[in-house]
């Protein structure tokens, strides 16, 4: 069966520090991968999605970037965090066909102080 | 692009009552409509979905209806229980695109 791992579960970082959140998927090949952000416990904002290694689409220009170094690995990064980057970050995957469900990880609660 | 509106933002019901959450979408080409339940501090989980060639789908106490003409779909939960309390999201996906567009969520509170 397929599983998605996302870590860390919680993170407190000072303003200006770098960020690296990692997500890996097991039990499937060539998945679509996604990073979402959820502010104030509501609303899922799509940040990035990837349909293959090295292929990243950005939905919202901001202080974050994403990379997909391996087929089932998706990384969310920032060089310098802002207070406004605080939120609940969710990684998700889906099969390579449109019109299918997305499977979410358990999320990372990021607090920038 | 697709735009999904979800109402209400908060819904409080008594245990045993029914709950209805409604969503509208803008892109007539959308053909897949999932509903997710998110418990506090966790990732969303799919509870039911419907495709554009179906008008209604039921799974025990949960049902979803779709009106393609009006471009709206609804989640119905009957005989609500306290463990149904969570945030519920609707979403829509357009053929040819691999991303889901989500509504802003409904916080459902079921009081015992």
Question: For residue B89, which residues of chain A lie inside 8 Å, CB to CB?
Answer: 44
A107 sits in the region (left: phi over 0; alpha: psi -120 to 50; else beta) called: left
B43 to A107: CB separation less than 8 angstroms, yes or no: yes
Instruction: Name the residue among B63, B44, B3 with its Cα closest to residue A102.
Output: B44
CA distance A38 to A80: 20
CA angle B41, B42, B44 (to 5 degrees): 135
CA distance B44 to B35: 9
Question: For residue B95, which residues of chain A lie inside 8 Å, CB to CB?
Answer: 98-99
Give me the residue label for tokens 């519920």: B88
| Span A53-69, pLDDT tens digits | 999 988 886 789 999 99
State yes or no: pLDDT of B8 exceeds 70: yes
A99 touching chain B per CB within 8 A: yes
The predicted structure's pLDDT at residue A98 = 63
State yes or no: pLDDT of B75 exceeds 80: yes
Q: Distance from CA of residue A85 to its chain's centroid?
A: 13
Question: For residue A90, which residues of chain B lie inside 8 Å, CB to CB?
Answer: 43-44
For residue B33, name the pLDDT band (cuts at 50, 70, 90): very high
The stretches in chain A having pLDDT less than 70 are 41-42, 61, 97-99
B27 touching chain A per CB within 8 A: no
State yes or no: pLDDT of B70 exceeds 70: yes
B58 touching chain A per CB within 8 A: no
Instruction: Name the residue among B59, B61, B77 with its Cα closest to residue B22.
Output: B77
A89 touching chain B per CB within 8 A: no
């Amino acid at each position: 069966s397929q599983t998605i791992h996302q870590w860390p579960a919680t993170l407190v970082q000072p303003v200006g520090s770098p960020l690296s959140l990692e997500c890996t998927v097991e039990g499937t090949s060539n998945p679509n991968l996604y990073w979402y952000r959820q502010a104030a416990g509501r609303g899922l904002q799509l940040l990035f999605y990837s349909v293959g290694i090295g292929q990243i689409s950005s939905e919202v220009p901001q202080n974050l970037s994403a990379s997909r170094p391996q087929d089932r690995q998706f990384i969310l990064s920032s060089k310098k965090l802002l207070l406004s980057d605080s939120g609940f970050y969710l990684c998700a995957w889906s099969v390579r066909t449109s019109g299918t469900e997305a499977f979410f990880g358990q999320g990372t609660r990021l607090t920038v102080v | 692009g697709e735009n999904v509106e979800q109402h209400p933002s908060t819904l409080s019901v008594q245990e045993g009552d029914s709950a209805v959450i409604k969503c509208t979408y803008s892109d007539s080409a959308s053909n897949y409509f999932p509903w997710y339940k998110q418990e506090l501090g966790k990732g969303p989980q799919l509870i039911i979905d419907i495709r554009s060639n179906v008008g209604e789908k039921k799974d025990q106490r949960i049902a979803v209806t779709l009106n393609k003409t009006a471009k709206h779909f609804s989640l119905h939960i009957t005989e609500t229980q306290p463990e149904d309390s969570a945030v519920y999201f609707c979403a829509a996906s357009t053929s040819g695109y691999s991303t889901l567009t989500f509504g802003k969520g409904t916080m459902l509170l079921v009081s015992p």
